[in-house]
Structure 1
Amino acid sequence: MKDKRRIQIPIFPYVMLVLALVTLVLAAMVYVNFPSKTTVAAGTAAAGLLIAVLAFAARPAMVRELLTSRKTLLWINDIALILIIIGIGVVLSHLGFRRNVRYDFTQNQLFSISDMTIQAVRNLDQDVRITAFYPTGSPEAGMIKDLLGEYKRHSDRLSFAIVDPMRDPVTTRAMSISNVGTIVVQCDASRQDVAREALFEIPGPYGPPDAKPKFTGEQAITSAILNVTSGIKRLITFVKGHGEASISGYQPRDIAGINELLTRENFDVDEIVLLEQDIDPRTSVLAIVSPQQEFLDDEIEKLRSYIKGNKGHLLVALDPGRTHEKLERLVFEQFGVLYNNDIVVDPRGIQRNYWTVAPVLAEHQITSPIIEKEMLALMFHCRSLTLEAKEDCRIDPIMRTIDDAWAKRALDPNVSIEIEFEEGRDARGPLNMGVVVEKTGVASGTRALLLGDSDFFSNGYIGALANRDLLINSVNWMVGQYQMITIRPRILEMPRIVIDETDAGKIFTLCVIGMPLLIVLLGGIVYMVRRRV
């Protein structure tokens, strides 16, 4: 009889050899995926080689067995196939990451960015860092992360981080963040803060009843990127010395809110006393907001020289009840706009007050984004403006009253105002309350924003409805920074499926009855076929 006893071959050396191969593969993965960890990869590879040497030392016959055995050839063949499949997967993954094609199936393209943004991001020649302060797990944080991920996908120059203000208060305080939802865009020393209100538009109480929330994050963030990478910080100078609203005061009539807003938009903000100082040549916009006293002749001459000589931009906001004869004459001479001595009455009684006006916005580069968002501005105690055509001026009204409004004329500060319209004395609407003027010809380059209300800019009203956007758009228009107005906001709308009783019956019949019967039928067919065979 033959001896059927099997020869016992020790398995431990083979286990060591497999472990050595796994260690070498791990070293290769570390080297490929973490180029900076070359020392770790080399150490892992050396450990793998050492284990392989120890395995062959424990069983020297394993060399001959591996080289001549039929099983070895089969193992080599299997390993080669596995490595080829893995290699194909790695190559396809790499190609898919570098040359991928994506499509946004959402109705309003919520997870896509415009061609203008893609072009702006790809053209970055400086590093841009974006930090968003949102609580972990909030829906807004997910939307912002997806949006910034799209930015990052198109440029290695851009990086971003999502910081939870509650979990990381040190970073929050270090970057002077006071409001959750703020996004900070930085490039070298330039910084611009994007407030939450600039990212999400929530319909107000005076908007259309069918208005829907909108996401304007792309427009705000792309505009901030262009702003901080431009390398230019423009100077906005506010005139003081006549009882104007203060840029550092926090009373309702003051304009500290404007100061903070313009600073976040990467502008430098300063004040000037015209009687004591000359206008800084760097001044991009000179603002006169709610003066209480008349200007002197020397001050008027400085303003005239700024407009004509420097081709500077001017922002003037005057309230009713006070006349500034010299300043108003200068505005009329230079821009063909006359401030009327009246006060506008809006019969809608907004906020239970007939002096509160929600102006109708006319199409312009300043107002188009706001009209697209279906938002309104809010003004309080307004005076009307009369326009006179001038050859060297292009005058565009951007804010008017409704047709049913009127203006109470010939105001006397010592006599109480009757709201009712007086035929032959008062003026019927529509009336102009805000205009923009652009000089043409020899004086081309000068732009002006002229408003019949200063409360529009005050701390009490700057956050109302679209006032903030209207101010920023106006300043950007005057200095020529209005590249991003073509980016449309995305409507935040959850799609709904309405199923009536008939549709519900069809779904029940198909899923609960039809599909199980089909499976039973197929199983019966298979059974009958196999039985015949």
Structure 2
Amino acid sequence: MKPFPQQEFPQRLWIRLQRVERALADLTFVLLLLALVIGSGWLIARHDRYWDWTSSGSNSLTAESLAILDRLDAPLRITVFSPEDTPLGEAIERLLAPYRQNLPEMQVDYLDPQLFPERARDADVTLIGQILLEYQGRRETLKEVGERSISAAIARLAETRSPWVAVIEGHGERSIQGGGTTDLGRLGQELRDQGFLARPLDLATIQEVPHNTRLLVLSMPQIQLFPGEIESLLRYLDRGGNLLWLMDPGPMHGLDPLAAQLGLSILPGVIVDAAAAKMGVETPAVAVISDYPTDPLTEGLSAPALLPGSLGFETRIAPGWDLATYLSTGSQSWNETGRLEGKIVRDEVVGEQAGPLAVVLALTRNLPDSDRQQRVLVVGDSDFLSNAQIGSHGNRELGLRFFRWLSGEEPPLALPPPPQAAEALELSSTQRMLIGVGVLLLLPGLFVTSGFAIRWYRWRGR
């Protein structure tokens, strides 16, 4: 038997020690990696900081929602009528997560309406996924769940008083609750979201405008008003009520005394504006308001408003009233008195005046024996607030500003904009080629090269 070489023993022992050392190093690396992953998960579950790296900030609350939450001085409670471990419950939880981050004291409960039918009936819940918001003894159940609807409900619950808006109906006027293209149903929903209580009022059944009415909305009737109804409107104006009069071309149907009391001078015809064509509007009979005056009524407004088929006004008003400001069209407009066909040219002979022309008059007067100021807005068009037009350009913002100015109180908080579809990622052909080459060739080649390099380094170490 050949004896074991004495000099080879230390070398083999050294090789074995190196292998053990590498094994221990690999084991230590795996344990540290696991500790890092577990620790990171633990910290993420208990984080107090949040970053939203999406381009549109879709995982964060908008500035409007944050301003609404800043007004809360008591805990908010939300009850979700859906099991928490369902896809719907998880989606609602993701929606409420930004609210939790900004309201640490907010309480969120999940209830299965099938297991708690009495609680669901008490909250007026008819669909799985509805939520109930409770704040300082006031409550509201939402049928639509989204940031805009939730923030609007929180704003309403935080308001202790809601301005009462009466909308004249009963003679073919535009309905504040109607769903037709010419109705004002969408405006009514916007007003509700802003904290107003907008209700229809028929002067044929209620002979007097209620004294708790903050402002009265009047659109053009389609049939003649009774003398008693005209007198009710005049009495409302005499006692200092605020009025929004949405006019349209056509007969007054008995509203002439109201126009005379305000001293309105209406230009003949309808406003045509060449600026509308630059905004993609095909018909010329659209008044464009784009240059807003420096006034509290229009402070912060920038988006142009489009008033289809609008009347124009002289800026002369009745004695006793002050013209606080007015909104006008641009220099490319005039009041067209002829037919809106073919090529339209202004004719000075028949009284067609070149713009700017006033299409909105803001009237004020100080009331005797009172420190309150009466406010009246006369608008040459009501189509711009209809269901078909309120979402066009700056119509919604301008219309809501009218109500804020007429209400005479602190303006309600702005609401988050309606949700929009996420923008699609568009890549050029060069970018697509680089991504394809990188994923299919460069990255695999890098991994293979790294593997051979590591293998060669370890082989040399032996």
TM-score per shorter chain, which class? 0.5 to 0.7
Instruction: Specify the alignment match of 2:3 in structure 1.
Output: none
Q: Who is 1:521 aligned against?
A: 453
How much has 1:315 moved relative to structure 2? 0.8
Q: Residue 380 in 1 paired to residue 313 in 2? A: no
Distance in 2 between residues matched to 1:226 and 1:403, nearest whole Å = 41
Residue 429 (str. 1) matches residue 355 (str. 2): yes
Find the residue that maps to 2:414 and give its secondary structure. Answer: helix
Which residue of the other structure, out of 189, 203, 206, is the alignment partner of 1:273? 203
Deviation track 1:8-48 (CA, whole Å, cap 9, x = no partner) reads xxxxxxxxxxxxxxxxxxxxxxxxxxxxxxxxxxxxxxxxx
Structure 2 CA distance for partners of 1:466 and 1:395, relative to 1, 3 Å:
closer
More deviation, 484-493/446-455 = 484-493
CA contact (8 A) 2:292 2:301 kept: no
Distance verdict in 2 for CA 1:366–1:304, change over 3 Å:
closer
**Across the two proteins, how many residue pairs are aligned to each other?**
394
Q: How does 1:363-442 map to 2 (within 5 A)?
A: 371=302, 377-387=305-315, 394-397=324-327, 400-409=328-337, 419-424=344-349, 425-436=351-362
Instruction: Provide the secondary structure at the position in 1 that maps to 2:458.
Output: helix
- Do 1:393 and 1:440's aligned partners in 2 also have CA atoms closer than 8 Å? no
Decide which structure has greater helix share.
1
User: What SS does the aligned partner of 1:456 have?
Assistant: helix
Describe the SS at the equivalent of 2:153.
Answer: helix
Rounded Cα–Cα distance in structure 1 between residues aligned with 2:346 and 2:193: 44
* Partner SS state of residue 311, structure 2: coil
Which of 209, 222, 226 is the matching residue for 2:155?
226
Task: Give, in angstroms, the shift of residue 422 of structure 1.
Answer: 1.0
Structure 1: how far apart are the matches of 2:248 and 2:170? Answer: 17
- Mapped to 1, the partners of 2:141 and 2:296 lie a distance apart of 22
**Do the aligned partners of residues 501 and 392 (structure 1) sit closer, same or farther apart at CA in structure 2, a change above 3 Å counting?**
same
Q: TM-score, normalised by structure 1?
A: 0.57
* Residue 286 of structure 1 pairs with residue 229 of structure 2: no
For the pair 1:452 / 2:380, whether they are aligned, the reply is yes
Q: Tell me the secondary structure at the aligned position of residue 387 of structure 1.
A: coil
Which residue number in structure 2 is paired with residue 341 of structure 1? 268
Q: Aligned match of 2:74 in 116, 119, 125?
A: 125
1:218-263 per-position Cα deviation (integer Å, ceiling 9, x unaligned): 5x64343112221323311123576644556666655455556545
* Deviation for aligned residue 1:157: 3.4
Q: Residue 97 of structure 2 aligns with which residue? A: 149
Q: 2:108 aligns with which of 159, 174, 177?
A: 159
User: Partner of 1:341: helix, strand, or coil?
Assistant: coil
**Residue identity opposite 1:342 in structure 2:** G
SS at match of 1:111: coil
Measure, in 2, the Cα distance between the counterparts of 1:512 and 1:244: 71
Contact 1:114 1:487 in 2 (8 A): yes
| 8 Å Cα contact 2:65/2:151 also seen in 1 | yes
Unpaired segments ≥5 residues, structure 2: 1-33
Give the AA of the match of 1:303.
Answer: Y
Letter matched to residue 305 of structure 1: D
Q: Distance in 1 between matches of 2:81 and 2:438?
A: 47
- State the superposition RMSD in angstroms: 5.1
Q: Secondary structure of the residue that 1:428 maps to in structure 2?
A: coil
CA 160–151 in structure 1, closer or farther in 2 if over 3 Å, else same: farther
Q: In 1, are the aligned partners of 2:321 and 2:364 still within 8 Å (CA)?
A: no
8 Å contact from structure 1 (residues 319, 454) kept in 2? yes
C-alpha distance in structure 1 between counterparts of 2:446 and 2:259, whole Å:
82
Q: Do the aligned residues in 2 keep the contact of 1:313 with 1:478 (CA within 8 Å)? A: yes
The answer to whether the Cα contact below 8 Å between 1:127 and 1:158 also exists between their aligned partners in 2 is yes
Report the Cα distance in structure 1 between the residues aligned to 2:298 and 2:129, rounded to whole angstroms: 25
1:130–1:160 Cα contact (<8 Å) kept? yes
Measured in 1, the distance between the counterparts of 2:245 and 2:124 equals: 37
- Structure 1 alignment gaps of length 5 or more: 1-84, 200-216
Q: Which residue of 1 aligns with 2:24?
A: none
Q: Which amino acid aligns with 1:449?
A: L
Residue 300 of structure 1 deviates from its aligned partner by 5.4
The equivalences for 1:32-431 within 5 A come to 93=42, 100-113=48-61, 117-118=65-66, 120-121=68-69, 123-125=72-74, 127-129=76-78, 142=91, 145-155=93-103, 156-157=105-106, 159=108, 175=125, 187=135, 191=140, 217=147, 221-240=150-169, 244-247=173-176, 253-255=182-184, 258-259=187-188, 262-263=191-192, 267-273=197-203, 277-291=207-221, 293=224, 298-299=231-232, 301-307=234-240, 312-323=241-252, 324-332=255-263, 338-347=265-274, 353-357=283-287, 359-360=289-290, 362=292, 371=302, 377-387=305-315, 394-397=324-327, 400-409=328-337, 419-424=344-349, 425-431=351-357
Query: What is the CA distance between 1:318 and its match in structure 2?
Result: 1.2
**Would the alpha carbon gap of residues 469 and 190 (structure 1) be closer, same or farther in structure 2, given more than 3 Å must change?**
farther
Distance 1:106 1:318, change over 3 A: same
Q: Residues 163-195 of structure 1: CA distance to partner in whole angstroms, max 9, x if unpaired?
A: 99xxx9x97995478xx9998766555548687
Greater Cα offset, 110-119 or 502-511: 502-511
Q: How far did 1:516 drift? A: 1.7
Contact 1:300 1:326 in 2 (8 A): no
Asked whether the equivalents of residues 379 and 456 of structure 1 are also in contact (C-alpha less than 8 Å), the reply is yes
1:429 aligned counterpart, secondary structure? coil
Cα distance change of structure 1 residues 421 and 176 upon mapping to structure 2, 3 Å threshold: farther
Residue identity in the other structure for 1:423:
E
Deviations 1:263-290 (A, max 9, x none): 5655151415289633322111111111
Query: In 1, Cα distance between the equivalents of 2:187 and 2:412?
Result: 22
> Hey, what's the Cα distance between the residues in 2 that align with 1:269 and 1:102?
43
* Structure 2 residue matching 1:484: 3-state secondary structure: coil
Shift of 1:385: 2.9
Q: Please, which moves more after superposition, 113-122 or 220-229?
A: 113-122
CA distances 1:338-363 after superposition (whole Å, capped 9, x unpaired): 54333112455777544355654737
Structure-2 change in CA distance of 1:176 and 1:272 (3 Å): farther
Give the deviation of 1:474 after TM superposition.
Answer: 3.2
Find the aligned partners of 1:527 and 1:104 in 2 and give their Cα distance: 46
